[in-house]
Structure formats: structure tokens, C-alpha cells
Amino acid sequence: MQQLHPTPSTVEAFLLAIDFGGTKIAMATATPEGTRLSELEIPTQADEGAARVMARMHDAAMGLIAQTRLMHGGELRAVAAVTPGIVEPDGIRLAPNNPGWETLAMAETLRRLFGVECVQVETDAKAAALAETRCGALRNLSCGLYVNLGTGLAAAAVIEGKVLRGAHGAAGEIAYQLRGVAGETPFADGGAPLEQFVSGRALADRASELVGRPVSCRQAFDLAQDRPEVAAMLDQALDALVMHVANIVLMLDPERIAVGGGMARVPRIIPALSAGLARACPYPPQVVLAAFEQGAALQGAILCGVEALAENRRSR
């Protein structure tokens, strides 16, 4: 567990923000205005199932809440969580890397666990795009795009300062884009074709098969210098990623793309996207590292909590 200790101060109330990531759960307490108070991270261990993940999150969060009360005073007034997938009242769809999420009523569960009525749950990529739009790399743009490259794969478009949600809240679920190759498994048959080819987990799994031992995504890129078969696999994956992002660019015409998630700092990623888009698009956007990098979704959760608290106060 990684825990940060800020300078003590006094508050009357605070919120809890939670980012359920593919490999880690990041949490922070913050003031109603969004100033961070305390933070911690724990491993997700998603394979243990939703009930165990939520129990471990709750144990860690209660410690964080106790620390916040000790250092800053105040009481917990709201909880905001962000997660992969599409949040519905009775479960979370399109979150294949989180077993059990499909039957997890996230908002109801958080209300029960923390004893607060003010709860907000949002898709992680959209929350990250909100953070980058309000105070990050997509600020003051008429059209921008956030691309999350991590354990999973997702994107979020920002139009005139607003995150595009779509008719079902599923805009930007690019994990399910078809690659157009023989034998691929579409969504209806349980597949996520693009994610299963270019996400961090997919690259790590394929590299591990090639070298005969478990390696991470970042290690795969390091191995590519001496292992031609790994280099060829990564080249193929990056070409596919560039092609799909280019198609999104041609549809939306964004001014800038902010890349976040665990793969964002892999040295080849942003140069490959920039070079590929320059060749494929008449008006190629600037490609930059997200201002909040891997922390964009957590910052988005904080903003969701701030807005939920403000709305709760207005409705009283």
C-alpha cells in the first residue's frame, strides 16, 4: 500500500474519490472544492472477484478516512468512484477485466459501505477526459480526444468543453472496434477485438508467450531491442493502434489528443501516434502526454465528487 501524507489543515467536510483501475485502486480524500487531502493506492487483484475487491477497497478506504479525520477534521459527505465499463443501476457492462462487475450495483454498494447518500459513479475514461478538460491537456479546446492505454483500452471525446457520452453512455468504447481480420471475436461472442490486440494486458500476454516467461508490457518494449519476434509483434500492434486512432481523428477532427494510462510513458507510444497521424490525417492533431498521466481518472473522480456535493447542496 502506498500512502501520501499532506500538510495538516482543518476542513468541515470532505469527499472520497476512488479509481478502480485494472492493476491498482487509487483513492483520495478531498475538500468540497477539490483540494486533495490524503491519498493511497492498493493492488486491484481483480481476479479475486467483485466482492473481494470491494471489501479490500473498503478496508483501505476506512483507514484513509480515519487518517483524514485525524489530520484535517471534518466528516465524509460524498463518495465518487470511476471504473472501466458502462455504469448501470444493477451492474457495470463492458468491463471484462473485472470479473463480477456485471452484477455489481456500484452506487448502491458504495452507499451501504460508507453510509452516505451523495454517491456518484462514472466511467473512468470519461472522468479522465473531464479532468484533462477542466485543468489539464485538453483545456480550452473546441474539440479534443482522450485516449487511455492501460490494462484496457478506451477513449473519450470532448466537444466544446463537454465529454461526449452518446445515447447509452458508451461513446469511446473503442476496445470493441473490429480489426477486420479473419477469425476475430466480436462483442456479441464475448470479444473485445481491439483491446485484445493492443492493450497493455494483451501486449504483455503475447510477449510472455513469445519469450516463454511472464513479462509486463513495459518489459516487452525493452525486450524488443534484442528479440525480433517481440519487436515484430509490437510493431504490428502499434500499426493497428495508429490506424484506429486515425479513423477517430478523421471523424472528429480534434485539435489535440491526450494519452493517459499505464502505457502512456512507454517511449515509443506518443512518437508512433504522432508520426502515424501525420501521414494518415489531413489535419493531424497534436499528441501529448495527459497532464495527469495515470492519475487522470482519479482527478476526474474528485471532480465528479465536487459536482455531486454541489448539486446535493443546491437541491436541499
Range scoring the smallest mean pLDDT among 5-19, 35-49, 155-169:
5-19
| Whether pLDDT at 2 is above 80 | no
| Whether pLDDT at 5 is above 60 | no
CATH node for 137-290: 3.30.420.40
Amino acid at 209: E
Report the pLDDT value the prediction gives residue 10, as an integer from 0 to 100. Answer: 81
7 confidence band (pLDDT: 50, 70, 90): low
End-to-end Cα distance, the chain: 38
Would you give the distance in Å from CA 177 to the centre of its chain? 18
Average pLDDT over residues 289-300: 91
Determine which helix (DSSP H) or strand (DSSP E) holds 269, and give its type and residue range.
helix 269-280
Report the pLDDT value the prediction gives residue 313, as an integer from 0 to 100. Answer: 79
- Tell which residue, 101, 102, 154, has the closest CA to residue 264: 154
| Span(s) in the chain for CATH 3.30.420.40 | 2-124, 137-290
205 confidence band (pLDDT: 50, 70, 90): very high
Average pLDDT over residues 227-251: 97
Compute the CA torsion angle 16, 22, 23, 29 (nearest 10 deg): -10
Report the pLDDT value the prediction gives residue 189, as an integer from 0 to 100. Answer: 96
Tell me the backbone φ, ψ of residue 29, rounded to 5 degrees: -100, 150
What the block records as the C-alpha cell of 2 is: 502506498
Separation CA 172–CA 146 (nearest Å): 9
What the block records as the C-alpha cell of 286 is: 497534436
Average pLDDT over residues 63-79: 95
Separation CA 113–CA 110 (nearest Å): 5
Average pLDDT over residues 242-263: 96
CATH 3.30.420.40: does it fit domain 2-124? yes
| Whether pLDDT at 295 is above 90 | no
| Whether pLDDT at 4 is above 60 | no
Residues 95-130 pLDDT 10s: 988 999 999 999 999 999 999 999 999 999 999 999
Average pLDDT over residues 295-305: 94
Who wins on pLDDT, 2 or 313?
A: 313
| Whether pLDDT at 9 is above 80 | no
Per DSSP (E only), the strands in the chain are 2-4, 13-20, 24-30, 36-43, 75-83, 86-88, 91-93, 119-123, 143-149, 153-159, 162-163, 256-260, 286-289
Report the pLDDT value the prediction gives residue 8, as an integer from 0 to 100. Answer: 57
| Whether pLDDT at 200 is above 70 | yes
Report the pLDDT value the prediction gives residue 22, as an integer from 0 to 100. Answer: 80
Report the pLDDT value the prediction gives residue 165, as an integer from 0 to 100. Answer: 95
